[in-house]
Structure 1
Amino acid sequence: MSVKRCVAKKVGQQLMSKTLETCTHHWPDKPVYLGAQAHLQNFYQSFGFIPVTEVYEEDGIPHIGMAREVIQA
């Protein structure tokens, strides 16, 4: 599947939703941390992540540390 088709089908959103569902199921009392490519910050913020570091470089690409706190149902 091409990147264009994946974007159109919102594959990234589906994968992230399932990942967060799995994290909540297995570790309900733990926050989720990730190192995101900086240009994807808004994508992760749409899932409740907030920046927790300044932008840093990893493998020549700007990244930012992000966290999503525990969400109580």
Structure 2
Amino acid sequence: MLKIKTKTFQELSTKELYDLLQLRSEVFVVEQDCVYQDIDGKDQKALHILGYKDDDLVAYTRTFKPGDYFEVSSIGRVVVKDTERSHNYGYDIMNASIKAVKNHYKENRIKVSAQTYLKRFYNNLEFFEVGEEYLEDGIPHIAMVRS
């Protein structure tokens, strides 16, 4: 089980910010070979959910209240370190993120822009497809909503 920390951008330490940006870059830019603007000016509005194994950041998401990213609350930048994916940390960090959205924003409806190959993972968390598949930064995605 992960040790979860939930912080606003202003509450993040310099090390925490560095670690989350490093993890996002490691997976989304290097592993997925996708050149895109990860630092998008939205982290300042987000609630950051950090998942630690011992003292190492191994899982992360960021959440938004309605209107800050989509019309409804959302969870994005869902990431688990490649060497830690066999431990179900994706479910741990997502369940913590869903709980954070409910507690901080008092919202139950949550949207994700999911990489298409992860549909089953999100279905298991009660997210369901809405609309058609689309390309985001050259990677197939689908919008999914949890009510």
Q: TM-score range by the shorter chain?
A: 0.7 to 0.9
Match of residue 106 from structure 2: 28
Larger Rg: 2
Corresponding residue SS for 2:112: strand
- Counterpart CA distance in 1 for 2:105 and 2:131 is 23
- Counterpart CA distance in 1 for 2:107 and 2:90 is 25
Size of the aligned set, in residue pairs, is 68
After superposing the two structures, state which structure 1 stretch, 51-60 or 19-28, moved more: 19-28
- Counterpart CA distance in 2 for 1:8 and 1:33 is 25
Match of residue 57 from structure 1: 135
Report the CA distance between 1:30 and its aligned residue: 4.1
Structure 1, unpaired ranges of 5+ = none
Structure with more contact order per residue of length (Cα contacts < 8 Å, sep ≥ 6): 1
Structure 2, unpaired ranges of 5+ = 1-57, 59-80
- Counterpart CA distance in 2 for 1:27 and 1:52 is 22
Corresponding residue SS for 1:33: strand
Match of residue 146 from structure 2: 68
Structure 1 vs Structure 2 CA RMSD: 1.6
Q: For the structure 1 residues 14 and 30, does the alpha-carbon distance in structure 2 shift closer, same or farther, using more than 3 Å as the test?
A: closer
Corresponding residue SS for 1:48: coil
TM-score by length of 2: 0.43
Moved over 3 A (4+): none
Q: Which amino acid aligns with 1:37?
A: Q
- Counterpart CA distance in 1 for 2:107 and 2:114 is 22
